[in-house]
Chains A and B, each alone.
Chain A
């Protein structure tokens, strides 16, 4: 095994130096904001990647800008707005709520309402047709009991 770089400190784990993090943030919250942003912002040059995963030049530029803005103390939404100002809504994976996109939320809700409405409607209609009452119910229960007793006795 030929190592490109010959190791000197192999044996001394304890003496290992501290490793440098690639991105440094003043607080853990800011680091979290940065991570969220890099996963929600879209690389405008790429096929379909966020800026965290892309190696494209523009993705790196956006990443650096996000770091700078977050370190300035800007909030997540402020950074997103900054990017949308420049790259349009395309840059954010969460679509804006507009009359054209409202369908994304309205239609699923409408289908759920319709679906449940159908059950209720059907039950009401079925109830009207049915003349099954408590007495019938009791008769049925008795019959079932009788049958089960017979079966057990066999």
Chain B
């Protein structure tokens, strides 16, 4: 009897493993969560994309529930989600852009042309829709690093106190909004 039970052990371990392997098929291993989840927005002081004299800080964003969307015109997926984000804006969701400039590298002393970038962004937003209240320019990607951003697009949901409640990597579409964001957003805005 004892030996019989012992012989079953490998089989049982295997079944146990299979359950997880099966679940794993439907998960996305590349989906990441920032270490900042549940913490408040990190301190920063960055200029507005369209007006270098205007400075945004963590404090100046407090008081309202908003989405912070990390994006760039170089990123095709970001362009693709502009349409749906614009729809969200029309439904009253406040969306702030965090402009993530990939090409800029301070080490190389790159010639960075802010006017060309503004032109580019304006063209893009007028074509694909503009979901943003305003855009913060994070040229050296310091806020991005503090937020645990690994690329674009990524989106954070922040509450009135400036607490980060959700982090989504990849584009936002109808399905993602419904399953991941809608309920929490509803709760916050009521």
Contact = CB atoms under 8 A, between A and B. Distances in A.
Asked if chains A and B are in direct contact (CB within 8 A), the reply is yes
A84 interface: yes
Contacts of B146: 86
B36 A44 contact: no
Interface in A43-64: 43-45, 56-58, 60-62, 64
A124 interface: no
Given A85-B36, A86-B36, A65 B150 contact: no
Interface of B: 32-36, 102, 105, 107, 141, 144-151
A88 B141 contact: no
A44 B35 contact: no
Given A84-B35, A87-B32, A58 B150 contact: yes
Given A57-B102, A60-B105, A87 B148 contact: yes
A44 B30 CA distance: 9
Contact of A85 (B35, B105, B107): B35
Contacts, number: 44
Decide if the interface of chain B is mainly helix, strand, loop or mixed. Answer: loop
Contacts of A84: 35
A58 to B, nearest CB: 5
Contacts of A88: 32-35, 148
B23 to A, nearest CB: 15
A87 B150 contact: yes
A45 B35 contact: no
Decide if the interface of chain A is mainly helix, strand, loop or mixed. Answer: helix
Contact of B151 (A57, A64, A85, A90): A57
Contacts of A91: 35
Contacts of A44: 32, 148, 150
Contacts of A58: 141, 149-151
Contact of A90 (B32, B144, B145): B32
A56 B151 CA distance: 9
Contact of B145 (A45, A61, A89): A61
B151 A65 contact: no
B109 to A, nearest CB: 14
Nearest to A65: B145
A96 to B, nearest CB: 12
B145 A86 contact: yes
A65 B32 CA distance: 20
A97 to B, nearest CB: 17
A28 B77 CA distance: 43
A60 B32 CA distance: 19
Given A57-B102, A57-B151, A62 B145 contact: yes
Given A61-B141, A61-B145, A62-B145, A86 B35 contact: yes
Given A57-B141, A89-B35, 5 more contacts: A58-B141, A58-B149, A61-B144, A88-B32, A88-B34
A60 B105 CA distance: 9
Nearest to B107: A64
B137 to A, nearest CB: 16
A45 B32 CA distance: 9
